[in-house]
Amino acid sequence: MKLQNATVLVTGATGNVGPYVTDSLVDHGADVVGTYLTETAREDAEARAEQADAVSYYQVDLTDQAAVEAFAETVGDEHGSVDHVVGLAGGFSMGTVDDTDGDAFEAALGRHATTAFLTVKGFADHLGSQSGVVLFSSDRALDPVGGTLAYDVGKGAVRTLTESLDVELDARVNAVAPFLIDVPGNREAMPDADFSEWTAPGAVVDEVTHLLSNEGVTGQVVQLTGGQPEVEE
């Protein structure tokens, strides 16, 4: 299915990568529906996104099944059927096994796996054989490096969810698993890192749009290993 005139739901649309994805989808002619959790995040994203005025933003807690179901009904009433889903909702967290407690572990699973699961479940009736779902895993789910245990497990659960949903749904379900993405928030958090080793946001966006529109790719977890030329420090 082409993205022109398609309705695309983007969860976590106000996160670090969200504005890059929503801008690209709007540029492709899509009707973009985005979710956010806090008003501060929405205001920040609207300042960063060039096409923010063309995105329909909705505040919703994607870990709450009743809230997701109500959101799906609202989107259906106001936008009609959703053609594609991009599951960006999540959040980075540090911690080894020694300093990660049960609450932190469950919170990471909620941010990554539960949000993705409830979103796809809530919109499953919208999705057909021409639809695409792209979820966000991480290279750390494939090659853990230590120190981010709960995050790694949460993203690993998204990987398994992707493969399982691809078996159960008519829609094509894929995931991207990027290395650190070169966005302002990550640079601020790790100012001494070598940004040239990180994944360019444009590369992530290109892969997302490719997976949404390419009918020949399904059930894949695409690892994006990073590296970009001429990065400005």
Q: What are the residue ranges spanned by the domains of the chain?
A: 7-224
Contact between 217 and 174 under an 8 Å Cβ cutoff? The reply is yes
One-letter amino acid of 198: W
Question: Is the confidence at residue 232, as pLDDT, over 60?
Answer: no
Q: Residue 36's beta-bridge partner residues?
A: 59
What pLDDT band is residue 88 in, cutting at 50, 70 and 90? very high
Q: What is the CATH number of domain 7-224?
A: 3.40.50.720
pTM, to two decimals: 0.94
Question: Is the confidence at residue 230, as pLDDT, over 50?
Answer: no
Contact between 219 and 193 under an 8 Å Cβ cutoff? The reply is no
pLDDT (0 to 100) of residue 1:
60
The angle formed by the CA atoms of residues 63, 66 and 72, to the nearest 5 degrees, is 90
Q: DSSP assignment, residue 81?
A: S
One-letter amino acid of 134: V
Query: Considering only CA atoms, which of 17, 117, 103 is closest in space to residue 64?
Result: 117
pLDDT (0 to 100) of residue 181:
86
pLDDT (0 to 100) of residue 77:
97
Question: Is the confidence at residue 229, as pLDDT, over 60?
Answer: no
Contact between 181 and 198 under an 8 Å Cβ cutoff? The reply is yes
Q: What is the pLDDT of residues 95-154, one digit of tens each?
A: 999 999 999 999 999 999 999 999 999 999 999 999 999 999 999 899 898 899 999 999
Q: What is the pLDDT of residues 170-201, one digit of tens each?
A: 999 999 999 888 888 888 888 988 888 888 98
